[in-house]
Amino acid sequence: MMTLLLPAVLLATLGAVQDTQPRVLLELEDDWARALIHRDAAVFRRLLADRFIYTEDDRTMSRDDVLRDMVAGPDTVKTAHNEDMRVHRFGATAVVTGWLVVGGQGPSGPFDRRYRFTDTWVQRRGRWQIVAAHDYLLPATHR
């Protein structure tokens, strides 16, 4: 009887082991949103892979371009948060989709923006970094 019970206990224990990586990725995405408000270059450098590539609408930017824009760009972000995030795992690669909602002040005055984002993360040496990202700015008429 004991030998039959042991495999059942092991299977129940294995089933209880949860993949914590989606939660970790969602927290990293929230770190990004908070870093926008504080222009926290250290967070951006930690999260962006060396050969990171970013696309938004018709433009493509390198890691250095993004770092420069986030830290010293013309916009001052006062609020930023994520909504409706989903993690799609592919082994050591994950794609996170969601909405980034940003408010602040720019050269043309106050702004409220909603970006539909897709971030591609790769886990290397036990740490997640973004290797590619795409944002779509929702037109103001749809907000």
The CATH number for 60's domain is 3.10.450.50
In a domain, 87, yes or no: yes
Phi, psi of 84 (to 5 degrees): 50, 45
Residue-averaged pLDDT of the chain: 89
In a domain, 3, yes or no: no
Query: What pLDDT is stored for residue 13 in this prediction?
Result: 46
Q: What's the rounded Cα separation, in Å, for the pair 77 and 18? A: 35
In a domain, 2, yes or no: no
Number of residues in the chain: 143
Structural domain boundaries enclosing 100: 21-142
Q: What's the rounded Cα separation, in Å, for the pair 117 and 19? A: 23
Q: Check: CB of residue 104 under 8 Å from CB of residue 77.
A: yes
Number of domain units in the chain: 1
In a domain, 67, yes or no: yes
The widest CA-to-CA distance across the chain, in whole angstroms, is 75
Q: Check: CB of residue 118 under 8 Å from CB of residue 97.
A: yes
Q: What's the rounded Cα separation, in Å, for the pair 99 and 64? A: 24
108: pLDDT strictly greater than 70: yes
pTM of the model: 0.84
In a domain, 69, yes or no: yes
Could you read off the pLDDT of 78-99 as tens digits, one per residue? 999 999 999 999 999 999 999 9
In a domain, 123, yes or no: yes
Could you read off the pLDDT of 46-55 as tens digits, one per residue? 999 999 999 9
